[in-house]
Amino acid sequence: MSLALQADTLSTAPTSIPATVPTEKTLSIIELLTSGGLAGQLIMVSLFLMLFVALYLYFERLMAIKAASTIDVSFMTQIREHIRSGKIDTAKLLCAQTHSPVAKLIEKGISRIGKSLDDINTAIENAGKLEIYKLEKNVSLLATISGAGPMTGFLGTVVGMIQAFHKMATGGGQIEVGALSEGIYTAMTTTVVGLIVGIIAYVGYNHLVVKTDKIVHQMEAHAVDFLDLLNDPA
């Protein structure tokens, strides 16, 4: 009898319901970048345009500076030999065939041979300013992007927070976390992307400045050698 009651009790006992394991929602990078609404997307497009321009300017200027810094080590030796032997036209031809800022300076100095050293020095300095301007072409735009990138990102932060607070104010006391996600995504993602753009542009700008300074020192050293040659050609 007791066995029958025990069996009946086991059969009528409630079955345990397995606990539901919450699934973690993943968010891809594309969804993260485009989930900030129209305002966030417009700011993202602006930031990516800045990033593209910054990378293009950096690599374009880097290749131009690298090409400008390449010069034959025997260039000044040949110039010195031509000038001492009176072959001025040959020295000019050598400068014209050598595509570098140093050659442009020396060519300008050779074209002023026969005038005073002050006039030659002034001509070389003017030519040097022009060559430096060519080397630094559009580099200042990198500096602008390095400041404008983070500022644009912070603009997205302000816009996103405005969206979030607006939804909180118009929620009527029934605020859902999902309704605030669009503004929060805009606030967070634009700040991160803006800082990334600013860092890349800032590092690229300073690297190009260092490379340009090296060429400027190279130009100054060769200009001094040329003036010393004219001062004591023997």
State the pLDDT confidence band at 30, using cuts at 50, 70 and 90: low
Average pLDDT, the chain: 78
Cα 211 from Cα 217, distance rounded (Å): 10
What pLDDT sits at residue 13? 47
More confident residue, 78 or 12: 78
State the pLDDT confidence band at 72, using cuts at 50, 70 and 90: confident
Q: Which residues are within 8 A (CB) of 98 and not within 5 positions of it... i.e. 6 or more apart?
A: 71, 72, 75
State the DSSP code for 100. Answer: S
Torsion of the alpha carbons at 43, 46, 50 and 56, rounded to the nearest 10: 140
Angle 117-135/177-231 helices, nearest 10 degrees? Answer: 160
**How confident is the model over 148-169, as a mean pLDDT?**
79
What pLDDT sits at residue 175? 59
> pLDDT by residue (tens digit) across 110-122?
888 878 888 888 8
Cα three-residue angle 113-114-116, rounded to 5 degrees: 95
What pLDDT sits at residue 142? 92
**How confident is the model over 135-152, as a mean pLDDT?**
90
Q: Per-residue pLDDT for 3 more than 80?
A: no
